[in-house]
Structure 1
Amino acid sequence: MKTYIPKNDEQNWVVVDATNVPLGRLATLIASRIRGKHRPDFTPNIIQGDFVVVVNAQQVALTGNKLDGKVYTRYSGYQGGLKTETARQALAKHPERVIEHAVFGMLPKGRQGRAMHSRLKVYPGPAHPHTAQQPQTLEVK
């Protein structure tokens, strides 16, 4: 008997509206769709998830005190090179990076996780250039 290995033939596109959706709830849904865990033939070592387009990233909800309490840091490598910004500042400057950061932390680490990360497209407003792919709308509950 031969072992069944699923193919990565179909590439579905999904649009998610981030308006008033909590960031963590949105990120878990997106990470699950990108990995392909919604499919009955899910295999962890094959990238078979959907392409996810997130619109209205500016209007994502952060509950509690996370707008001022959550801090994003990066280090330049030099002395005194630790740069920090709060979630409020990050949403004002580049709201797409907040969602990308949350989703990237939920994907597998390594080569396969980086390949999965390229299936995420985030846009701050309601317009996106992926209408030719005929994406389906995914409701967040």
Structure 2
Amino acid sequence: MKTFVPKNDEQNWIVVDAANVPLGRLATVVASRIRGKHRPDFTPNMIQGDFVIVLNAEKVVLTGGKLDGKVYTRYSGYQGGLKTETARQALAKHPDRVIEHAVYGMLPKGRQGRAMHSRLKVYAGERHPHVAQNPQKLEISNTAHTKAEVK
């Protein structure tokens, strides 16, 4: 009996509207799509996921007190070079990075995770330059147990 090895010949493009969707809920659905966990032939050691385009990044919702309580830090490498900003400041300056950071934390660490991260395209507004790929729309419901449906 031969071992089944899935092929990575199918590359779909998905569009997700982030308006009024909680950040964590959006990030879990997007990370699952990028990894390819929605496919019946999912294999953890292969990149089989879809390309995901996230629109309206500035309209994503952070619940509770996370707008002022969640802090993003980065270190420049120099003495006294620890920089911090709250989620409210980050959404005002560069809302695309907030979603990228949340999704990147849910992807595998290492070479494959970095390759999967390149399949994520996040835009602050309604427009995107990937119209030629004919992306399908992915609806994310805002209920407690979410089901993502491609339409």
Q: Find out whether 1:14 has 2:27 as its counterpart.
A: no
Between the aligned residues of both structures, percent identity stands at 84
| Letter of the 1:92 counterpart | A
How far the C-alpha of 1:79 sits from its partner, in A, is: 1.3
Which ranges of structure 2 fall in alignment gaps of 5 or more residues?
142-151
Specify the alignment match of 2:148 in structure 1. Answer: none
Q: What is the number of equivalent residue pairs in this alignment?
A: 141
Specify the alignment match of 1:128 in structure 2. Answer: 128
Specify the alignment match of 2:29 in structure 1. Answer: 29
Specify the alignment match of 1:99 in structure 2. Answer: 99
Q: What is the DSSP-based 3-state SS (H/G/I as helix, E as strand, rest coil) of the residue aligned with 2:108?
A: coil
| Residue correspondence of structure 1 range 60-75 to structure 2 within 5 A | 60-75=60-75
Which ranges of structure 1 fall in alignment gaps of 5 or more residues?
none
Specify the alignment match of 2:118 in structure 1. Answer: 118
| Letter of the 1:75 counterpart | Y
TM-score normalised by structure 2 residue count: 0.93
Specify the alignment match of 2:145 in structure 1. Answer: none
Superposed structure 1 runs of 4+ greater than 6 Å apart: none
Bigger RCO of structures 1 and 2 (CA < 8 A, at least 6 apart): 1
Q: What is the DSSP-based 3-state SS (H/G/I as helix, E as strand, rest coil) of the residue aligned with 2:7?
A: coil
Q: What CA distance in whole angstroms lies between the structure 1 residues aligned with 2:40 and 2:10?
A: 14
